[in-house]
Amino acid sequence: MKKWFTLLTLALFALALTACGGGAPEKKASAPLKGRALVVYYSRADENSGVGYIEKGNTKILAEFIAKATGADMFEIVPAKPYPKQYKAATEVAKKEKEENARPEIVGTMPDVSKYDVIFFGYPIWWHDLPMVCYTFFDKVKLEGKTVAPFCTHEGSGLSDTDRFIAKTTGATVTEALEMYGTKAQNWKDEAKQETLAWLKKIGYEK
């Protein structure tokens, strides 16, 4: 009887430990970020969800805040084949690309990341993932050994685990991400800027 009681107590204790978050630790940067930084981003203008036709993509607005605040260089990922200007048509093209695990071509020469320690990486959430053109970038530019600070805009899906996708795909150390509604970035720029600066401070970035 006593033995069963002891075994039951041990089993309950083990269960409690598992419930308290036993899973594999996530790869996060802990030390303050330092060194030369590059902002890499993909962002689409034209018609989008909640904002109508826009001249500057939502993520691009955040990319510019980050570059200005940190003095980082910038690299824009430009797909060789532009997406349709209409929102619905663009979602259909993007859906097909995701289903096919496509790697859309990028215009121009990729940046030489050997000069940088920190890569701020910006993207919109597309179908609960990064746009496939971002994976083209990861195929071409090796980010292992770098620190990647992800930032994204979306219309309700949040990060959708994309920070983990980036860590898994690149092998980089990934910091806490910034995620923001695209409508906020586009329509409430002061608030969006303050939030972006607070995130930079939180992840320990200093110029």
Ligand X SMILES: Cc1cc2nc3c(=O)[nH]c(=O)nc-3n(C[C@H](O)[C@H](O)[C@H](O)COP(=O)(O)O)c2cc1C
Point out which residues bind ligand X (CB under 6 A): 43-44, 48-49, 57-60, 87, 90-91, 94, 124-128, 153-157, 182
CB nearer ligand X, residue 141 or residue 152: 152
154 forms beta bridges with 181
The closest alpha carbon to 118, from 73, 61, 78, belongs to 73
Q: At its nearest, how many Å lie between ligand X and the CB of residue 161?
A: 12
CB nearer ligand X, residue 44 or residue 146: 44
Contact by Cβ (8 Å): 40, 137: yes
Q: At its nearest, how many Å lie between ligand X and the CB of residue 190?
A: 18
Q: At its nearest, how many Å lie between ligand X and the CB of residue 78?
A: 13
Q: At its nearest, how many Å lie between ligand X and the CB of residue 1?
A: 56
Name the one residue in this structure whose structure tokens are 């607070």. 198
CB nearer ligand X, residue 33 or residue 166: 166
Residue 168, C-beta contacts closer than 8 angstroms, at least 6 positions apart: none
CB nearer ligand X, residue 83 or residue 173: 83
CB neighbours of residue 25 within 10 Å: 6
Q: At its nearest, how many Å lie between ligand X and the CB of residue 43?
A: 3
User: What is the number of the residue whose Cβ is closest to ligand X?
Assistant: 182
CB nearer ligand X, residue 124 or residue 150: 124
Rounded Cα gap, residues 137 and 104, in angstroms: 9
For residue 37, give the H/E element and its range: strand 37-41
The closest alpha carbon to 51, from 81, 87, 95, belongs to 87
CB nearer ligand X, residue 146 or residue 154: 154
Name the one residue in this structure whose structure tokens are 């590059």. 38
The token pair that represents 46 in the structure block = 């034209």
Q: At its nearest, how many Å lie between ligand X and the CB of residue 199?
A: 16
The closest alpha carbon to 173, from 201, 206, 148, belongs to 148
